[in-house]
Amino acid sequence: MVKSVLKMGDPRLWQQARPVERFDTPELHALVADMEATMHHLDGAGLAAPQIGVDLRVVIFGFEDNPRYPDAGNVPYTVLINPQLTPLSDETCDDWEGCLSVPGLRGQVPRWQALRYIGFDQFGQAIDRSVEGFHARVVQHECDHLDGILYPMRIRDMHFFGFSDTLDLSRKS
Ligand code: NI
């Protein structure tokens, strides 16, 4: 079922979400189905459970050639639960991000260029991937939601934050 997405300013988006303790349950499968329906309905690249008001460490992401992210390529559809991220080097890069909880806006955010993420899917199967570039960026953005962090909190230069129909998105900081 498509759920409404909480918007920036709602204090539920600032909470530290709780770990999932039981996998492969009807409740968890229903949550993942709701998140998937909501993300696709809004044509998003990812969604975290707190964005639909559920206080659990569950994110989903993935897309194929999303027109909102023309240079992003493909990221496989992934359900990631209780994630842990480890950067693979000190290298960071800045690029534009948007968020379904911050509609109409974009900002340039520094992220680790390459990282390893581990966690579980909704069946309790382990996930262990090393990724880079936009895939790494999406994972970091979504997992930030689980710690109550929205991307505008990470913007270093506020000249690179604004409305997506006004900003020059080819500009790099
Ligand atoms: Ni977001």
- Residue 135's pLDDT is 95
- The CATH code for residues 11-163 is 3.90.45.10
- Residue 163's pLDDT is 97
- Residue 72's pLDDT is 65
24: CA distance to ligand 1 center in Å? 25
**Strand partners of residue 110:** 94
6: CA distance to ligand 1 center in Å? 10
Q: What is the pLDDT of residues 92-132, one digit of tens each?
A: 999 999 999 999 999 999 999 999 999 999 999 999 999 99
71 pLDDT above the threshold of 90: no
- Residue 146's pLDDT is 98
- Which is catalytic among the residues 27, 36, 132, 142? 142
Kindly list the distances between the CA atom of residue 33 and the CA atoms of 29, 37, 58, in Å, as whole numbers in the listed order. Answer: 6, 6, 12
125: CA distance to ligand 1 center in Å? 25
Residue 142 among the catalytic residues: yes
End-to-end CA distance of the chain: 39
Burial 147-171 (b: 16+ CB within 10 A, else e): eebbbbebbeeeebbeeeeebeeee
| 18-36 mean pLDDT | 98
Pairing mode of beta strands 114-120, 126-132:
antiparallel
82: CA distance to ligand 1 center in Å? 17
